[in-house]
Amino acid sequence: MSSRIVTISREFGSGGRTVARLTAEKLGFDYYDNELVTKLAEESGFCEEFIRENGEHASYTNSLLFGLSIASMSNGYNMSSFDKLYIAQQKLIRELAEKGGCVIVGRCADFILRERRDVLSVFIHADDDYKAKRITELYGEREESVQKRIRDKNLRRKTYYKYYTDRTWGASGNYHLTLNSGYIGIEKCADIIADLARAGRAE
Amino acid sequence: MSSRIVTISREFGSGGRTVARLTAEKLGFDYYDNELVTKLAEESGFCEEFIRENGEHASYTNSLLFGLSIASMSNGYNMSSFDKLYIAQQKLIRELAEKGGCVIVGRCADFILRERRDVLSVFIHADDDYKAKRITELYGEREESVQKRIRDKNLRRKTYYKYYTDRTWGASGNYHLTLNSGYIGIEKCADIIADLARAGRAE
């Protein structure tokens, strides 16, 4: 049985978002990245800017909450806006998965959908030099060094993932497949993922 | 330029050794696993049993050495037999890489050869149920539970890798490619690796 859902987590600068878009095109799947932000804003009432800023990386504030139990969220009592956003996002990702035929970027989707047998879960990373070159080409030079921008953004994604899943972001055991996009190439990454999604689970 | 060397690290029970052998066959490459033990015994004078027991996983004794600096090894002063074995292994792996056309299993080869541009570095893992089923089929039931055998063996490999490389075993960033062999299937894993080795580095 082929996999109807592909989740793609990615390091900032690895080109993982492009890999995800190409994979969706090759499979004829819906693609959810910014599209998810819009949908979430419509359904949850959070404004798009708040979702974009807090929907998949820790803000400086909530990274300090590290260590608080997620269990306290279950009754909705004392939930922060960040936690409410996570819950709304989780609900939406589960609904999208139910429909199937989609590629979902980031937002702990690999963890949220981990019990499903029709999910292919992928992580895209790259060497530091490759990421720095790519980010500079895409977004230009800024006052802050490109190395610092990459380090900070990836640390915020890692912290967010740890907080909501209690897992290590990028640990191979969380994914069916991890790819170094610099070594393999963006197009080839998408080919491998699309091919594996079509083949589905071997077990 | 295609990759002339493939390193394959693997969780015990994942079938990674079979993936490595199939990959070598598909590429027409030499395959070094037990072959490396024999060569090492010839060149270093260590007996095969000692190499097999200490060449890629921490024994109960040397796992306690955790935290001692590897720098103290550089002058050969106060080196343990374990460290001498690591040094001999490192030398042999570098010599084999120089010849090229080979698949090397385990033994920190990914770390030892990390500066080379003609290496494809792979990690194979699998879900716990898959590993347990595979180990029971291959080696039968034993007094100790299969879960404990898998956990202990993988912890010893992880500890050995950490001690000699200061890296986390199985962290995606250490490898160009990591594959869940249960999801993907053994044969298909070898196909993907062989294909990527032929294509070589995209950058």
What value of ipTM does the predicted structure carry?
0.89
State the pLDDT at residue A71: 46
Q: What value does the mean pLDDT take over residues B146-156?
A: 91
Cβ(A57)–Cβ(A156) below 8 Å: yes
State the pLDDT at residue B78: 64
Handedness of CA A65, A158, A7, A150 (dihedral sign): positive
Q: Which residue has the higher pLDDT, A33 or B195?
A: B195
Q: What is the DSSP letter of A127?
A: -
For the beta carbon of residue A98, count every other beta carbon within 10 angstroms. 10
pTM comes to 0.90
**Which residues 123-152 of B are in CB contact (within 8 Å) with A?**
123, 125, 130
Taking CB atoms and an 8 Å limit, are B178 and A183 in contact across chains? no
Taking CB atoms and an 8 Å limit, are B123 and A172 in contact across chains? yes
Q: How confident is the model at residue A197 (pLDDT cuts 50, 70, 90)?
A: very high
Q: How far apart are CA A69 and CA A83, in angstroms?
A: 11
Handedness of CA A101, A103, A109, A111 (dihedral sign): positive
Handedness of CA B34, B182, B190, A10 (dihedral sign): negative
- Which of A2-16, A126-140, B77-91 has the lowest average pLDDT? B77-91
Cβ(B175)–Cβ(B11) below 8 Å: no
State yes or no: pLDDT of A75 exceeds 60.
no
Query: What distances in angstroms separate CA B160 from CA A8, B60, B64, B109, one per listed residue?
Result: 31, 11, 11, 13
Quick: pLDDT tens for B103-133. Answer: 999 999 999 999 999 999 999 999 999 999 9
Q: Token pair for residue A66?
A: 């590290």
Select from B120, B170, B185 the Cβ nearest to the Cβ of A202: B185
Taking CB atoms and an 8 Å limit, are B176 and A180 in contact across chains? yes
State the pLDDT at residue A88: 87
State yes or no: pLDDT of B164 exceeds 50.
yes
State yes or no: pLDDT of B70 exceeds 60.
no
Residue B174 has, within 13 A of its CA and on its CB side, a CA count of: 24
Q: What is the DSSP letter of A174?
A: G
State yes or no: pLDDT of B69 exceeds 50.
no
- Which of A72-81, A86-95, A152-161, B91-100 has the lowest average pLDDT? A72-81
Cβ(A174)–Cβ(A167) below 8 Å: yes
Select from B123, B183, B192 the Cβ nearest to the Cβ of A201: B183
Q: What value does the mean pLDDT take over residues A19-48?
A: 89
Q: What value does the mean pLDDT take over residues B192-203?
A: 95
State the pLDDT at residue A57: 75
Cβ(A3)–Cβ(A190) below 8 Å: no
**Residue B192 sits at the chain A interface (C-beta within 8 Å):** yes
